[in-house]
């Protein structure tokens, strides 16, 4: 019996990068575990490391998507990501009474144990983050009473190492509005737009949770005055930098306003943030740009100097908006009435630590 010969072909690095750049993101993440050399190449090569994909949540279904920001105003759904777990068959159970951690890249899941106080509720806020030692944790926030009043906010942490929840603290000094409850993760920490409740006054603040020290802190906004209406947070597609979108009266009545987007160029450990404005959309008409609203969702593309924002529900021709300084495209979708959420997704091969 003849022995099979293994033939090893060594490719130039630039050719290998070109090949890997065309590989689907899910496969690219798996290739990182093939060898130390491949992991280093994919992680350190600027072109491969910054490769990200757009995730769209459409009518409670998750898709990987591509969007042509130049010519064809069509959303292309490249694949449907499904939760591969027998316990996900009951939508009511998943949405209201259970919490699951899911890596869409590997398909790996972990169903979480119940927290210390009360069971999971859809009114709770959650955030996944990691400490400076790369240990993943889950934050759970429970707010009581009217969010516009100085009521109590309780929060607890799930630690994967101990496989347990523990109460971290409570406060009456701030609250997170329901429309802005989706936090934005940057470098392991999570940020929210919130209200402070100090001395019977209410003020817009930017709130940060540091998963290393397990503490909330108020960090600096780009402009600290009442002329701006802070609307939403996001990240840039390329560098995953924190972005903030705000509206300001254009001086021509309530029907027109200017849209300003800042990017955090540096975040200090003290909470100080250096902001740089990278996009302004002048004299936006409210009826046309209805997607610019409180608690909206957007994705910032700094390379093309544009924003991608969900449009009006029940209108397939404005399913998604691509907006820039001199650009406004309305992206079509074949299903009228569809509603979407846009998220930047960088696939990871990180394994979910299972409980003992």
Note the pLDDT of residue 149: 60
Cβ–Cβ under 8 Å, residues 286 and 254: yes
Assess whether 285 and 247 both reside in one domain.
yes
88 in any annotated domain: no
Cβ–Cβ under 8 Å, residues 281 and 323: yes
Note the pLDDT of residue 260: 86
Chain segment 12-24, per-residue pLDDT in tens: 877 877 777 766 6
146 in any annotated domain: yes
- Quickly state the pLDDT bin for 218 (edges 50, 70, 90): very high
1 in any annotated domain: no
> What percentage of the chain exceeds 70 in pLDDT?
67
Note the pLDDT of residue 115: 80
Note the pLDDT of residue 46: 59
Chain segment 25-48, per-residue pLDDT in tens: 556 666 766 777 777 777 666 566
Average pLDDT over residues 237-263: 78
130 in any annotated domain: yes
Backbone angles phi, psi at 296, to 5 degrees: -65, 170
What mean pLDDT is reported for the chain? 76
Q: Is the predicted pLDDT of residue 68 greater than 80, yes or no? A: no
Cβ–Cβ under 8 Å, residues 299 and 307: yes
- Quickly state the pLDDT bin for 109 (edges 50, 70, 90): confident
DSSP-H helix ranges across 45-161: 46-49, 91-96
Note the pLDDT of residue 161: 85
For residue 345, the cross-strand partners are: 53
Q: Which of 159, 188, 219 is the last residue of a domain?
A: 219
- Quickly state the pLDDT bin for 92 (edges 50, 70, 90): very low
Assess whether 202 and 271 both reside in one domain.
no
Rg of the chain over Cα atoms, rounded to whole angstroms, equals 22
Assess whether 182 and 142 both reside in one domain.
yes
State the Cα–Cα distance between residues 129 and 159, nearest whole angstrom.
11
What letter would DSSP give residue 180? G
- Which has the higher per-residue pLDDT, 224 or 318? 224
| Residue closest to 173 by CA, chosen among 144, 202, 213 | 202
Assess whether 26 and 136 both reside in one domain.
no
Enter the tokens of residue 219. 């960090």
Assess whether 73 and 25 both reside in one domain.
no
Residue 126, H or E segment:
strand 125-130
Query: What is the CA angle 111-115-121, rounded to 5?
Result: 80
Assess whether 34 and 62 both reside in one domain.
no
Assess whether 175 and 281 both reside in one domain.
no
- Quickly state the pLDDT bin for 102 (edges 50, 70, 90): confident
Assess whether 229 and 329 both reside in one domain.
yes
92 in any annotated domain: no
Average pLDDT over residues 169-176: 90
Cβ–Cβ under 8 Å, residues 182 and 234: no
Tally the domains of the chain: 3
Chain segment 183-197, per-residue pLDDT in tens: 899 888 999 999 888
Enter the tokens of residue 303. 């390379």
Assess whether 176 and 149 both reside in one domain.
yes
Cβ–Cβ under 8 Å, residues 341 and 291: no
95 in any annotated domain: no
State the Cα–Cα distance between residues 315 and 178, nearest whole angstrom.
25
Three-class DSSP category at 89: helix
Assess whether 138 and 205 both reside in one domain.
yes
Average pLDDT over residues 283-296: 56
Cβ–Cβ under 8 Å, residues 153 and 170: yes
- Which has the higher per-residue pLDDT, 161 or 239? 161
Q: Which of 199, 219, 239 is the last residue of a domain?
A: 219
Lowest mean pLDDT among 93-97, 244-248, 279-283, 341-345: 93-97
Average pLDDT over residues 141-168: 82
Average pLDDT over residues 237-246: 81
Chain segment 299-315, per-residue pLDDT in tens: 777 767 777 777 665 55
132 in any annotated domain: yes
Note the pLDDT of residue 96: 56
**What distances in angstroms separate CA 105 from CA 29, 99, 182, 351, one per listed residue?**
7, 19, 21, 10
Enter the tokens of residue 235. 């990240």
Assess whether 187 and 163 both reside in one domain.
yes
Assess whether 65 and 143 both reside in one domain.
no
311 in any annotated domain: yes
Structural domain boundaries enclosing 28: 11-51
Q: Which of 169, 200, 219 is the last residue of a domain?
A: 219
């Amino acid at each position: 019996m003849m022995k099979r010969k293994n033939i090893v072909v060594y490719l130039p690095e630039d050719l290998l990068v070109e090949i890997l750049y065309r590989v689907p993101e899910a496969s690219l993440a798996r290739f990182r575990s093939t060898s130390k050399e491949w992991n280093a190449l994919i992680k350190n090569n600027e072109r491969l490391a910054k490769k990200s994909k757009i995730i769209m949540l459409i009518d409670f279904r998750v898709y990987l998507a591509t969007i042509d920001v130049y010519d064809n105003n069509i959303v292309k759904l490249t694949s449907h990501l499904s939760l591969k777990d027998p316990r996900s068959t009951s939508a009511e159970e998943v949405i209201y009474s259970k919490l699951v951690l899911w890596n869409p890249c590997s398909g790996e899941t972990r169903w979480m144990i119940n927290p210390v106080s009360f069971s999971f509720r859809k009114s709770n806020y959650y955030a996944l983050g990691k400490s400076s030692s790369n240990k993943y944790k889950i934050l759970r926030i429970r707010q009581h009473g009217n969010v516009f009043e100085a009521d109590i906010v309780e929060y607890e942490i799930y630690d994967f190492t101990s496989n347990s929840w523990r109460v971290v603290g409570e406060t009456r000094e701030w609250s997170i509005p329901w429309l802005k409850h989706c936090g934005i993760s940057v470098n392991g920490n999570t940020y929210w737009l919130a209200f402070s409740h100090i001395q019977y006054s209410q003020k817009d603040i930017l709130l940060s949770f540091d998963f290393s020290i397990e503490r909330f802190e108020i960090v600096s906004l780009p402009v600290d005055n009442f002329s701006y209406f802070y609307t939403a947070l996001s990240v840039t597609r390329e560098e995953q930098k924190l972005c903030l979108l705000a509206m300001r009266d254009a001086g021509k009545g309530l029907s027109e306003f200017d849209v300003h987007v800042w990017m955090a160029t540096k975040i200090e450990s003290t909470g100080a943030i250096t902001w740089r404005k990278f996009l302004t959309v002048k004299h936006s008409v409210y009826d046309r740009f209805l997607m610019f609203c409180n608690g909206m969702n957007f994705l910032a593309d700094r390379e093309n100097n544009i924003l991608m924002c969900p449009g009006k529900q029940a209108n397939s021709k404005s399913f998604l908006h691509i907006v820039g300084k001199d650009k406004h495209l309305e992206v079509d979708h074949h299903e009228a009435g569809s509603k979407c959420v846009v998220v930047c997704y960088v696939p990871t091969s990180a394994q979910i630590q299972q409980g003992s």
